[in-house]
Amino acid sequence: MPDPSPHEFDLALNQVPRTGRPAVRDLHLAEEWRIGGGLNGGFLLAQIGQALRSTLTADQHPDPLALSAYYLSASAAGPASVETTVLRRGRSMSTAQASLMQADDAGRPVERIRALATYGDLVGLPDDVRTSASPPQLPPPQDCLGAELVPPDFRASAPFLDRFELRLDPATAGWAKGEPSGQGEIRGWFRLPDGREPDPLLLLLAVDALPPVTFDLGMFGWAPTLELTVHVRAAPAPGWLLVRHATRNFAGGLLEEDAEVWDSGGRLVAQSRQLARAPRPR
């Protein structure tokens, strides 16, 4: 039977339960999702989210509410697996653990990410919304800046950047022409290029897909994630997502990076915070 979904993101999230060990799902981390020396961290979150979704859907808890990932080693393109363990099955929520594994050069198992997550049913939540936060004001996508921001030599090493459309607010993209604002903020529109609409799994990608907020501080090195926790608060409406990254506490060689994701209906659908290692001064 042909795969009912032709969308690239869904194909990339294809996972196969291992024969005799259904808690282990085998998958392939495609080169297309590589950025620099490793796979994008948000894409890896989505893989973990997918495995947990498969595990917990039977419990009527298909959606991530909270997911915390601790990055142990850099993932590489190639075979991988996610093993899940359910810690608690509740009436309205379940909590589970997941490990993303690969093999090292000698074939020994090596853990890439350890995660904890609480899943539930976003559609079944009460419909009260008293959010006091308001979405950032950006020019419309057609007036924002796209792929032309990325230096060609960097783009060649980052096929990940071709997996989605990103339109950055010019007010937070000065770093691309050597004029970082110093505010520690990057805002932009995000969507998949092939018409695949957002869902909770895509939000896991969206919270870690933008350029690191350190670019806006004038630091262009790599800022590896140590830990990332995301709260998914609603199933997103179709259309563009609005993503805002910001940092307020750059100190001691570490920084926090907060992400907010707003859907086309103006709802704050996801919030994340990561602790990252600051880029080394050059």
List 184, 200, 212, 279, residue binding a second copy (CB under 8 A): 184
Nearest-angstrom CA–CA distance, 96 and 56 = 9
The nearer residue to a second copy, 24 or 113, going by C-beta atoms, is 113
Nearest-angstrom CA–CA distance, 44 and 190 = 18
Going by C-alpha positions, the residue among 136, 160, 135, 138 that lies closest to residue 147 is 160
List 53, 231, 244, 245, residue binding a second copy (CB under 8 A): 231
Over the window 102 to 141, marking each residue x when it contacts a second copy by CB under 8 A and - when it does not, the resulting string is: ---------x--xxxxx---x--xxxxxxxxx--------
List the interface residues with a second copy, window 192-211 (CB under 8 A): none
List 23, 150, 226, 237, residue binding a second copy (CB under 8 A): 226
Do residues 161 and 155 make contact, with C-beta atoms less than 8 angstroms apart?
A: yes
Our finding on whether 84 is near a second copy (CB under 8 A) is: no
Our finding on whether 50 is near a second copy (CB under 8 A) is: no
Nearest-angstrom CA–CA distance, 75 and 15 = 17
Size of the site for a second copy (CB under 8 A): 50
Do residues 49 and 42 make contact, with C-beta atoms less than 8 angstroms apart?
A: no
Our finding on whether 70 is near a second copy (CB under 8 A) is: yes
Do residues 43 and 33 make contact, with C-beta atoms less than 8 angstroms apart?
A: yes
Nearest approach, Cβ of 247 to a second copy (angstroms)?
8
Provide the phi-psi class of 239: left if phi over 0, else alpha when psi is between -120 and 50, else beta: left
What residues make contact with a second copy under the rule CB under 8 A? 65-66, 68, 70, 72-73, 87-88, 93, 95, 97, 111, 114-118, 122, 125-133, 183-184, 217, 226-227, 229, 231, 233-234, 247-254, 256, 267-268, 271, 273, 275
